[in-house]
Structure 1
């Protein structure tokens, strides 16, 4: 019973952070703001979702694999965002705004 409540809370928290990242991607004006919103919230959302799966499986070899995936996501997501931000900075995409059609 308590395990189910913990899994439910972790899953709902995960979905909330994914939703926040999606809203940030749609609403924010430039590349850097969008990337910041999606990177932070999607990393946390994926972490909470994987943590819910780890709690669901219990002590199992699958849980170890899920923990390794979690560590991999926590390392690669910020690094990938940093590399994309650096490329956007060098491409002079600092002050670009969307036009009427939603494209840069």
Structure 2
């Protein structure tokens, strides 16, 4: 196993750990805004680490560029969706995203 293989494995496993942490935050945090924050931050970092690990194994510069563009697109979409959801939650007023009775809003 070469140094590049070991670095790739470490980066991909670290990325998977951040994905797991984001999922735990999604399930454990009390309100919607903290869940959204945990999920977007951890998943973006996790994807960045996975992309960095895969870039070490990429066969060419074009493959590395494609991986980087995928990550940048995911960053942009995650930020946009998080802003839209947070704005809708702020308009809701209570931060739970429900009708107050535990069910979804109509």
TM bucket, shorter chain: 0.7 to 0.9
Match of 2:92 in 1: 91
The RMSD of aligned alpha carbons is: 2.1
Match of 1:9 in 2: 10
Contact map agreement 2:89 2:97 (CA 8 A) in 1: no
Match of 2:83 in 1: 82
User: TM-score normalized by structure 1?
Assistant: 0.84
Match of 1:47 in 2: 48
CA separation of 1:97/1:89 partners in 2, compared to 1, >3 Å: closer, same or farther?
A: closer
Show structure 1 runs of 4+ deviating over 4 A: none
Give the drift of 1:30: 0.5
User: TM-score normalized by structure 2?
Assistant: 0.83
Larger mean CA deviation between 49-58 and 30-39 belongs to 49-58
| 5+ long unaligned stretches in structure 1 | none
- Work out the number of aligned pairs and report it: 100
Give the drift of 1:76: 2.1
